[in-house]
Structures are given as C-alpha cells and as structure tokens.
Structure 1
Amino acid sequence: MPTIVAFETISELFENLVAKYEKSDKTAFAFKPSADEPYKTITWSEVRDDVTAVASYLLQQDVRKGDRVAILSENRYEWAVVDLAIQSVGAINVSVYTTLPAAQCEYILKNSESKIFFVSTGIQLKKAIEVFDNCEDLKQVIAFDEPKVQDYIEKEYVKLFDTICTAGIKAEPQQSEKLKSRKKNIKPEDVATLIYTSGTTGKPKGAMLTQRNIVSNVKAAHDAISIGESDRCLSFLPLCHSFERTGGYYAMIAGGAEIYYAESVDTVARNMLEAHPTIVVSVPRLFEKIYNLVKKNVEEGSAIQQSIFNWALNVGEKYWHGKRGLVSIQKAIADKLVFSKLHDRTGGNIHFFVSGGAALPAEIGTFFMSAGLNIIEGYGLTETSPVMCCNRYGEEKMGTVGKVINGVTVGIQRLDDNKIIAQISGEDYPTELTSEPGEILNRGPNTMKGYWKNDEATQEMIDEDGWLHTGDVGRFVDGRLEITDRIKHMIVNAGGKNIYPGPIEDMFKTSKWIDQLVVVGEKQPYMAALIVPDFEALENYAKQNSISYENMDDLLGKEAIVNLFSKETRSFSKELASHEKIRDFRLLPNEFTVETGELTPTLKVKRRVIEDKYGHLIEDIFKDA
C-alpha cells in the first residue's frame, strides 16, 4: 500500500502531512496527561505549530545543518516534536536510551559532539547535570518536565521545554526564511540520525542513518504491509531504537495512522484497553508473556475448559491455514467461546501485531495466528534502517522472517569459505529456493552510511562489495529467510560441536514454569542452563502443594521445586539433539532486566554479563564434568 503522501526526506514527509491534514481535525498523536485521565489527541495543525516553535528556537541557538542534538526521553509527544524540529533544520538526532547510566550518556554526548540535550523527567535531568561539565560541545539542556528539585533549574544552561517553545514562537518571524531555506536544502544523502548500538559488548557505536536509508525503508515497509488512515498504533518500544523509529513512528505517520503513546512499558496491557489500537509493534517478550499467561490460566481450568480451548486452538490453526466450509462455522464458535476474551484484552480492534528485535518462537506465533491475532514478523538491524525481510499479512509463516523487502538484496555467505551461496532481491520471489545456512548479508539503500567517527568498525561491518555483514546465521527456506542465531553466540562444546543457543532458549520459553533462560556450556561436555522461573506460577504451585518457604531463595532450593524443573528440562530436551540437551541447570531468584545490566534496552540478553555475574554457578555446574 503506498504512503499517504510523497516524500524523499523526513522533513518533506512532515511538511506534506501538514499540508494534507492542517485544515482537518485529523489526529496525529495522542498521550495521557496522567494515569487517571483519558487520552488527549493532537491534530496535525497543532503539531505544525509546536514543531515550528522548537525549530525556530534551534535556529535562534545557532544550530546548523549537520549539528547533533540529543534526546534522552521515554516515548512521548515531545519526543516526536523535537525530532521533527531537528529534521526541519537539517540537524542530526542523537538518540539516547533512558535506561543508560550517566557515564554512558556522557560517552554518547561526547562522541557525537552534541550541542543541545533534550531530557524528559527529573531522573534524566539529573544525569544531564552530572555530565554537563565533562561535555565541552554541550551548550544547553532542555527539560520536558519541570523538575521537583528547584536546584536543578538554577543552572543557567538548563531550560524548560515550555519556556523554549514560548521563545521559539517569538523568534518565528525572524527565523521563518532561514527555516524555509534549511528545509529546502535537506538532501536524501544527509545523515538524519545517529543511533547508538546498545551492544552486548564494548562501547556503543553510532550508526549513521541517512534520510535515504530511512525513507527507502519506510516505503518498502508500505509495499509489504498495509498501513492506512484508519489505523492507530500504540507506541511503547524505545524510539531511540531503529525498529520503533522506522516501524512504529515514520511508517505509521507516512500512512496517515495515529500514534498513541503508552504511559510506559509496564502499562501496555491497560493502555491497549484505553487506546484500542489496530497495530502494535513489539518485541517477542510481550507475546511470550501473553502466551504464558493464557497457557497458565487454561491449565488451571477444568478438564472441560481445557478441552474446549484445545479444540478452539485446533480449529483456529486450520482456519489460518486456509480451510473453510465447516471450519468457518467452527471458527465462529471458537471465537465466541474462547478467542473473543483475548481480543478484548488487546483492545478489540487489532488488525495485526508486528514482531521484531529478536526471534519469535514459532509455537507462540502459531498460537496468536490460530487465535485470529495476526503477527507479522520481520528482521533487520539498526545498521539496515532496520528492515531487511518481513512476512506479509495473510502469508505469515511462523519460524521464518518472511521475504526480502523491495529494493534490498539479502545474501547467504558460507561460514567456512566465505562464498556467497544464495541471494534474493526484494522484487524476486524464488519460492523454490532453499539454501544451506550461512552468515546473512544485506545490500541496498537501507545500508547505513557507516559508524560515526569509526572507520575501522565500518570496514569490519561493510565489505568492499557493499555487503553489510549482519553477524547472524540463517538460510533461505522456500524463498523466505529463517534465522538460526548470532555467530558470536555460538557455543562450541568440548567435543567441537557447534551449538546455537537461541532456538533452544526459544523452545524453553514456552514452558509455563520458565520466564527466562540462558544456555551455557562453552568448551564443556554438555549443555546446561541458568533459569529464571515464572515466579507467580511457582508461588501458586507452592501454595497448592503446601510448600512453605521464607523467601524466593529458600523456595528455589526446595527439593520439590528442583524436581519440577528437572522434569521440565528433561521433557523439553527430548526434542533436541544429544549434544544440545540441557543436562543440568541452576535457578535464579531475580529476573534479567535492563536496570540490572543483563539485558540491552531492546531486551536482548547480554550473555557475557550474565556469564560473569553468575560465573560461580556455571563453575559449580561443570566442576565435576
């Protein structure tokens, strides 16, 4: 489906959307002023006024074309306003994750040589003040929220967002011609943003994404997926990540869709009921949690309820695979008896979910598709702007990330001799092509310009022929891309066998007892796992079986609990090859989180951090091996 307006740059997208909708009451964005209040909608004419005010202020502060302006904020309306203002003046948006500590924020600000720093809450402002004196290029900090501690705003370099908007409105007459000139001179090859890789190791690198990188990806996404004026997207993944930036922001407004901001990641379930979205862009973690919750509720129900649910799931899967006739009648009954409740919990209007950022376990994807909640899974990297492949609506095949998008070529390079053994361009669909596994490569207009001030890392990532090396292993299956794992995540056991932990971990995540799991066993004779249990399920089990305990550590040490997980790991391991089976484990009393350092801001596992943190447990597992 084509975009709602024509454009070659993000600024042009914004200008053309304003021209189309400024005389209407069309909603552009919506947010909740507080938890107890309903969503407040913002029209495109209001967006135009706010963006113009901020852009005028940036010009007044001598922000020049190519200057870097940083944002440290949760998803909110002000984020979009500032971003569109940055794009309008030809500057570069430097996005910073709110979960980063002050020291890492300082590194990004210094590396990018950012000139102005927008921050959201008092917590984020505190970080900015802590590092300001160490960032010689930084001239000003602008806070979205008025800080509760007044000492903060006594700093001369700290301004409030409302104050600079007022100043920008006053400056508009003097800056009007300059703003027009800036917009006119923005070129597709100009860098639009620096997105710093969250990275599981080493210092973050700033991927330079140009206007062409992002625009080509937005248009290719519209070629593959239908996004229109009747759609509403609930936004909660970090906007400083390219998945949400392109998929949940630019691609949405390019179709005329409305963007409703969730209050936080923790309130998504409630906000879906309030916003009634038609599209939700998420990482697999959300779907895993919903799946495990439903599975747990079913298993706690009566035998009749379980039978009805399993029947409904079977009918739903048949319907998804194209069977009609009697199945259509059965599907209507299944929807009314079973699936309607799940649809209601997601707001009742879901057209489809989009999943990315990590592999979606096929069993979980199949469950949602059978329930009539389509999940379109895609694949890509920050460095590919980000989409390389995606399933199309109505053509979803779980276990794959779909077909290559238009304009992009994906290749498979054999690991042992670096020979490219297969490649598909987006305009071609050789459904008969199945290849052996190898490293996934990307070439096309979505390939980043390079890493900011890091030619060495750029040359490691992009070879002389223009192929970007993803570091992921995969293969084509009937013309669709199937991801195996990350090359650097590969475990080599004591016998020299190569083991990819990702698929094993995805399989175990479907257990109602397991919330998170990391496979370990480098240079060891067998595989083992560090397991974070589903604590709620475990506590219910303890209650039902009269197991008394003082705290979670005490509960996890109980023989009955250890036996429960022993049985579960043996059951799942039956599906694995001998060298992949999980033969031992340790239970952890705390979940992996971004705040405690085990997860990246996009919820990917930091294996080295976990292996270091729980090295004593890993050593204990293999001490007699």
Structure 2
Amino acid sequence: MSIGSVDGSLPGLLRQQAASRGDHIAMREKEFGIWQRITWSEYERRVRHFALGLRELGLEKGDRIAMVGDNRPEWVIAELAAQSLGALPLGLYQDAVAAELEYLLGASGARVVVAEDQEQVDKVLEIREALPRLEYIIYYDPRGLGPYAAPGLLAFPEVERRGAERDQAMPHEYAASVATVRGEDPALLCSTSGTTSKPKLAVLSHANLLSMADQLQEVDPMTAGDEFVSFLPLAWIGEQMMTVSRHVLVGFPVNFPEEPGTVRQDLREIGPRVMFSPPRIWENLVSEVQVMVEDTTPLKRRVQAWAMRVGGDTADDAFEGRSSGAWRRVRRGIAEVVAMRPIKNQLGLTRLRDAYTGGAALGPDVFRFFHALGVNLKQIYGQTEVAGISALHRDGDIRYQTVGEPLPGTDIKVAEDGEILTRGPVVFEGYFENPEATRETLVDGWLHSGDAGYFDGEGHLVVVDRLKDVMLLADGTTFSPQFIENLLKFSPYVSEAVVFGGEHPYVAGIIAIDFENAGQWAERHQLAYTTFTDLSQKGEVYDLVKAHVESVNADVPEAARIRRFLLLHKELHADDAELTRTRKVRRRFIAERFEPLIAALYGDDDSVAVDMEITYQDGRTANVKHDLRIERLSGAG
C-alpha cells in the first residue's frame, strides 16, 4: 500500500474487512451495563440493508443525508450506507440548537436526517417548515416517539427491513453500487469550526480520508487488535478520522460508551490503546487530577507532588534528548507504582500507547503534565480541510512547543507573510456550493490555513496562532493571545480565558471560572455562594485566580503580562455563539459582545456594570445586572 494513495472507498474497505475478518469484533456498544458486540459481517450486512432501504426511499447519488446524536453504531452505519450509494453524509453536533441545525441542513440541502432520539427529532421537527428539501427523519432510539405521526418519520429498523427485502429481491444491486464508488468521489461533508464566520461545508473525498489514515498509519501503526473508544462528537473531523477512516482501513474495534456520563468508566473497562481528543479534554483531565489531589490527605498530596516532580524531570530529559541516569530511572519507577499508575487507572489511560491532541493549541504546562504522568501525548496539526492531520510528533522526538513534522506524502510550507500552506492527497475538494470561498482557500493546489507559523531549526512546525489574531504590542513585541490563554487555562479554576492587546496599550483579559472546580474549592473553604455570578465575584475567588495570573505573568515577557482582568459573570458557551462546537473561542464575536467590558479594562474604573440577556437551558431568558470587579496587577509593566 503506497503512502497517501489508498485505492478504493470507505464502504469498499468495509466489504473487504467483512470478507476477511467476518467473525471478528468490529464494534461494541454498551447497553444496560453490558457490551453488545457487532461483528464485521453483521456490520457490513446492516450497512447494506440500510443503504438499500435508503434507495427504497429514493435516495440517489449526490443527495445529502445528515446524522445528529450521540456516538452510536447507527450513526456510522448510516454514514457508510450513504457513501455506498454515492450520497454525501453530513454530521451535526448533538448539542447544536435548532437554528444551527437549520443553517447546516439548509446549506447542504439534506433530503434525510438520521436522528438519535426524541430530543433530536424534536429539534428537526421545529425547523422542518424552513427545509423544503427535507423528506425523511429516521430515528434509532424510539423512546417517547410512539405517539409521533409526522410525515416521513421512520424508525431505523424499518428502513433496514425495507432494505433487507430489496436485497433479497435484487441480491447484486448493493455490490454493484459500491463498485461504482471511486476514491476521487466525494465521501463526506464536514463543517468547519466557524471561529471567524458561519461554518462552511468542506467536501472530502474517499481518497482524502483514506490518504490521511494511511499516512498516520505509516507514522504510528495500529493493529486490528488495538481498541478505540469513540466518545467525541462524530461531527468533528478528529473523531471521523479514527472511528470511520482509520477503523475501516486497519480493522480495529470501535467501542461506543453507554452515555456521555459513563465515558470514564467505559474507558477503564476497555483500556484503549489510542486516544485522540481536543485540548479541552486534556485540560479537563488535568483539572480533575488537581482537584482530586487537593481533596486527599496531606501525606498523599506530598507523595503526589514528589512523583510529579520526578516524572517532570524524566519528561524534560526526553524533551531535550538526554538519557536519564540509573537513579532517576529508579525514582521514576517508584513514582509510577505509588502515584502515576493509580491516577492513569482512574482516568482510563493505563493501557494507552499513543495519545493525540489536536484542533487547537495545547498549553505547554498541560503537555508536560501528561508526559510527567507517563502518557505518550503527541500534538497533531491539521484542519477539516486536510481530513484531520497534516503534521504530527514522532515518538522520541516530541517537543511541546511544536506540532512535529509533516506526514509522509504531505507538503507544508510557510508563506512570506507567515501563513502555513499545505499540499497533498489529504487536501479537500473545496467547499460545498461555495466556489468563492474555495478559490480563496485553495490556490495553485496549496491550502491556505489562515494559521501563522514557522519551522524551527530541526524541521518541526511551530504554530503561533490564527494569522488574524497575531498582534504587535505597543513596544513592537509579537503577541499571541492563544499562548497566554493556554497558560491561564492550566489552572483548574479557569474554564476559559480571552486576552486582548494589539491596538491597546497593555494586555488585559476576561476570565471565566470553572464553576464545578471553583465551587468545590469554595465548599472546602466554607465559602457560601448561590449562583455562578455570585461565586465569580467573591473576593476570595478573585484572589485565587489572581495568584495564578501572577504566576503566568512571571513566565512571559514583560510586554505580554496581563495588567488588568475581570471574572466574567457567565460561562462562555457555544449556545451563545461565544465558542464553536469544538470549544474554540470566537474572539471577534466576544470582542463585539463584551465591548463595554473590554473598554472598562482599559479605563480607570475598578468595576464595570453589565446588563445582559441570558438564555437558560430550558429556553427561559432573563436580564442580568451586576457590577463586575476589575482586578489590577502590580509589577506587570
């Protein structure tokens, strides 16, 4: 198999896996506490029957079908079934509000939506009148849907039943359909993160997806005996590349947790060998460990602190290419037994061989933490438009300030203005029905990423920030807001941070506390509070966060130190358009929405009044009026 040029299609590879490894486990899904197994033969049969059921409904080559819900076998079955007909599947985030679904379903012109349950069906029904092309809604969790009588509403098994009847009547139709699907054919519509505008729909071919999987396989081989747990949204390209592309290429089992709340327990039970998550997941794990340690006995805290110092020394040796001495290796072994292994077991990472982070930059403190713990965490770099990955750390050559080297078969260069450009078989076909955006992004075969970066002396790619977000401070210092924000988020009490500089005379920031962790801290210190806003404005919480901001200031150049900050009265949330669904900060939107707060950070007052409308989870709205304290830091310039 040549690097970056896999022949065939995703459903074609599924048929090959079923033919050669039919009785082996392809998937597991946990139901009522028991792992239910699906073999490759059963998997292929269900894809075949669902595809032919879709054909019975009139789905044709080039039509679009959308999936929305938690990670379940039915999602992947629907996706591969659509691809086997030459139709284009589109994944939607399960927590997307109805307006977001309306935009993406309208932009794609989807004829069919495969929805997990009553919650997702209700959202689609709410917007159906605005979607004249939508004909069918297919659900696979029937609870609560018995009384529903909407036109075109069908159960997933019913579509499979119709497909099975068609398969019996025309036994060669499916194989003939799969045979017509070529590597260069469109395979997937994947929405971009939408950090600066509304999401666009990237068109990825089978060759794009499989080339990426093949190149990744060349660098970090997986085997059919490895385990993978699929718990991140399948609408995200990072999950697609593991749960679908690499899965059908390599043939390893994919495991679906029972519920989002059982992921940690399910990870412990399965013991995955590979895990790929965006930075927020790794940041949450660090916070969890930090809070867990704080809640234990003084003796255990001292043991943990010693073990992390030992692990950090070993990690630094590896980062800098030094060989650890015998005594240091002995100490590392003791630390592993008394502290590291129990923590990794608690997190479900005991058997992990390769861990990846991507989608955004990961702070150096978080990166070092996991290497100190003994987790082989590697940074990847890529975008939706390159099927997920274009650069990756190699084992034995990991540096937390870089994203590694380009994958074999992929070319990366840095333009004169500092923009990172990518070329190769992983680069997408263009944006769906958006030729203008395609022309702006694809120029002479090179993908313009919009990211600023450079290559270091060892050939590693360093990603600085979004090109539009890189700023010059008043003294001419180059400033990356994302770098400072990642340092701030290393605190377990900070959920999100957005810092500003550039045209301003100094650096200032808006910080959102981590409500759960800060709440636990408040309870341990017998600090009473009622709401998020009440807790965020406590003087003790300000002092807690201020101490962390001061520690960050000590590690950055003087011109980049934070001079003033405030604690936001609310969480930053994707439902309020402040974050993308992959939890990337939408900086320009925040700058507009919180313009009075930002202006106050650069004024002389010690507080600022806010009067904002807040939308609660149940749909209720309320006006919130508060005075937010502005903290001034000494010695920051």
TM-score with structure 1 length normalisation?
Answer: 0.90
Mapping 1:534-573, distance limit 5 Å: 534-573=514-553
Is 1:226 paired with 2:218?
no
- Aligned residue for 1:133, secondary structure, equals helix
Cα distance in 2, alignment partners of residues 616 and 399 from structure 1: 34
Aligned to 1:355: 357
Shift of 1:286: 1.6
Cα distance in 2, alignment partners of residues 141 and 302 from structure 1: 54
Shift of 1:300: 5.7
The structure-2 alpha-carbon separation of the partners of 1:334 and 1:141, relative to structure 1 and needing over 3 Å to count, comes to same
Match of 1:480 among 460, 478, 485: 460
Shift of 1:540: 4.4
Mapping 1:261-300, distance limit 5 Å: 261-298=256-293
Aligned to 2:389: 387
Cα distance in 1, alignment partners of residues 207 and 366 from structure 2: 35
Is 1:466 paired with 2:445?
yes
Mapping 1:421-432, distance limit 5 Å: none
Aligned to 1:31: 29
**Alignment deviations for residues 37-88 of structure 1 (CA, whole Å, 9 cap, x no partner):** 2221211111122111101112222322222222122211101111111122
**Is contact 2:210–2:249 with CA below 8 Å preserved after alignment?**
no
Aligned-partner residue type, residue 138 of structure 1: L
Is 1:246 paired with 2:247?
no
Shift of 1:556: 3.1
Mapping 1:546-625, distance limit 5 Å: 546-624=526-604
Cα distance in 1, alignment partners of residues 193 and 143 from structure 2: 28
- Aligned residue for 1:485, secondary structure, equals strand
TM-score with structure 2 length normalisation?
Answer: 0.88
Shift of 1:456: 0.6
Match of 1:409 among 408, 411, 425: 411
**Is contact 2:56–2:162 with CA below 8 Å preserved after alignment?**
no
Instruction: Pick which of 582-591 and 259-268 moved more.
Output: 259-268
Instruction: Pick which of 219-228 and 282-291 moved more.
Output: 282-291
Is 1:200 paired with 2:195?
yes
Shift of 1:127: 2.0
Is 1:132 paired with 2:112?
no
**Alignment deviations for residues 180-208 of structure 1 (CA, whole Å, 9 cap, x no partner):** 22111111111001112230233321111
**Is contact 1:235–1:281 with CA below 8 Å preserved after alignment?**
no
Cα distance in 1, alignment partners of residues 492 and 119 from structure 2: 36
Report sequence identity in percent. Answer: 30
- Structure 2 regions of 5+ residues with no counterpart? 606-637
**Is contact 1:6–1:13 with CA below 8 Å preserved after alignment?**
no
Shift of 1:496: 6.5
Cα distance in 1, alignment partners of residues 262 and 360 from structure 2: 22
Aligned-partner residue type, residue 438 of structure 2: T
Aligned to 1:70: 66
Mapping 1:304-343, distance limit 5 Å: 305-320=300-315, 321=318, 322-323=323-324, 325-343=326-344
Aligned to 2:206: 211
Shift of 1:380: 0.2
Aligned-partner residue type, residue 125 of structure 1: V
Shift of 1:312: 2.4
**Alignment deviations for residues 331-382 of structure 1 (CA, whole Å, 9 cap, x no partner):** 2211111101112113332222221111121221222112211112211000
Cα distance in 1, alignment partners of residues 310 and 171 from structure 2: 61
**Alignment deviations for residues 479-517 of structure 1 (CA, whole Å, 9 cap, x no partner):** 111111011223455666542101111111122332221
- Aligned residue for 1:114, secondary structure, equals coil
Shift of 1:265: 4.2
Instruction: Pick which of 518-527 and 38-47 moved more.
Output: 518-527
Shift of 1:568: 2.6
The structure-2 alpha-carbon separation of the partners of 1:479 and 1:265, relative to structure 1 and needing over 3 Å to count, comes to farther
- Aligned residue for 1:595, secondary structure, equals helix
Cα distance in 1, alignment partners of residues 416 and 135 from structure 2: 49
The structure-2 alpha-carbon separation of the partners of 1:133 and 1:546, relative to structure 1 and needing over 3 Å to count, comes to closer
Mapping 1:144-223, distance limit 5 Å: 144-152=140-148, 154-223=149-218
Cα distance in 1, alignment partners of residues 311 and 548 from structure 2: 27
Shift of 1:601: 1.4
Instruction: Pick which of 490-499 and 250-259 moved more.
Output: 490-499
Aligned-partner residue type, residue 354 of structure 2: F
Cα distance in 1, alignment partners of residues 599 and 527 from structure 2: 29
**Is contact 2:474–2:502 with CA below 8 Å preserved after alignment?**
yes
Cα distance in 2, alignment partners of residues 346 and 39 from structure 1: 20
The structure-2 alpha-carbon separation of the partners of 1:509 and 1:104, relative to structure 1 and needing over 3 Å to count, comes to closer
Instruction: Pick which of 69-78 and 219-228 moved more.
Output: 69-78
- Structure 1 regions of 5+ residues with no counterpart? 416-437
Aligned-partner residue type, residue 406 of structure 2: V
The structure-2 alpha-carbon separation of the partners of 1:548 and 1:346, relative to structure 1 and needing over 3 Å to count, comes to closer
Aligned-partner residue type, residue 472 of structure 1: D
Cα distance in 2, alignment partners of residues 567 and 327 from structure 1: 32
Cα distance in 1, alignment partners of residues 475 and 105 from structure 2: 46
**Is contact 1:2–1:222 with CA below 8 Å preserved after alignment?**
no
